[in-house]
Amino acid sequence: MDNFGKIKSTYNFILAEAISTGNENKKATFKQYIKTIKENEGLNAQFNVYYNIESKIESDKFKALEYVNECISLLDKFDKKQIKESNKKLANAILSESFEIDDIRESLYNNIDTLIFTKKTHKTIDQIVEAKTAIVDYILANTKKEIGEGYGLPNSTLAEIAVDKFNEEYTELDESDVSAVNAVISTNESEKENFYKESIKECLTLVNTKISESSGDIKEKLLSTKENLLNRTYNTESFVSDISKILELKKHLNNN
């Protein structure tokens, strides 16, 4: 298994299992994977290519095609052989893991792999065009992934979707993110609502501190943010989107 899409999905599954079962070894395995991607520029760029294409939603066929071309071009400056070797190292670390992906994603990952690693010659043009066309068709048919649609699925499956949501920028999940994932996969509405309200309170505390230290336009913006937080209410239908925004705000406040 040296296809990065399959590797990425397997590592997401490993973290999902870690969250569902509390397995610290699997969580450590995922953190090492993230560390490796952060420290390897080629892997980092490859991650972005797969993530951008997989999550892209576009109704215009021409724009979708141009998007695919631009994404693939991000890897032009990297040695493809070195990227393949790095992929194999990531795969070798999880040989004991077994995770089946759906046919749509498997086809998408294979086609992206074709565009990245197939050398363009007169003999491979058809293969490249077919792969690119299939990816464009995927983008045109793609829809936003919603966790709320997944009730009835195993917790590990829901957690994998949540991992994609809260790990979009391939940063290590901090404690807030892990708590959010746990809340998302929980079927207990009370737990979700409590987590949501506690997150709001934490943001308000940070905002109040910033307000006391600020003046002028910055203070006005912070007051507006505070008002927005005070007006927020828990909504089960938009929980994933809402909590993502709150956690993003919390990180921004902590880092500035």
pLDDT for 179 equals: 61
Length of the chain: 256
pLDDT for 185 equals: 53
User: E-strand spans in the chain?
Assistant: none
Rounded to two decimals, the pTM is 0.64
Q: What is the pLDDT of residues 225-242, one digit of tens each?
A: 999 999 999 987 777 678
Q: What is the pLDDT of residues 111-129, one digit of tens each?
A: 999 999 999 999 999 999 9
pLDDT, mean over the chain: 82
Give the tokens for residue 223. 């007051």
Does the pLDDT of residue 149 top 60, yes or no? no
Q: What is the pLDDT of residues 69-82, one digit of tens each?
A: 999 999 999 999 99
**What DSSP assignment string belongs to 51-98?**
HHHHH---S-HHHHHHHHHHHHHTTTTS-HHHHHHHHHHHHHTTTT--
Does the pLDDT of residue 148 top 60, yes or no? no
Distance set, CA 65 to CA 59, 134, 162 (Å): 11, 10, 28
pLDDT for 175 equals: 56
pLDDT for 218 equals: 86
Q: What is the pLDDT of residues 156-211, one digit of tens each?
A: 444 555 555 545 443 445 555 556 665 655 556 787 788 889 889 999 999 999 89
pLDDT for 177 equals: 57
What residue segments make up the domains of the chain, in order of their start? 4-148, 156-255
DSSP 8-state class, residue 153: B
Distance CA 256, CA 246 (A): 15
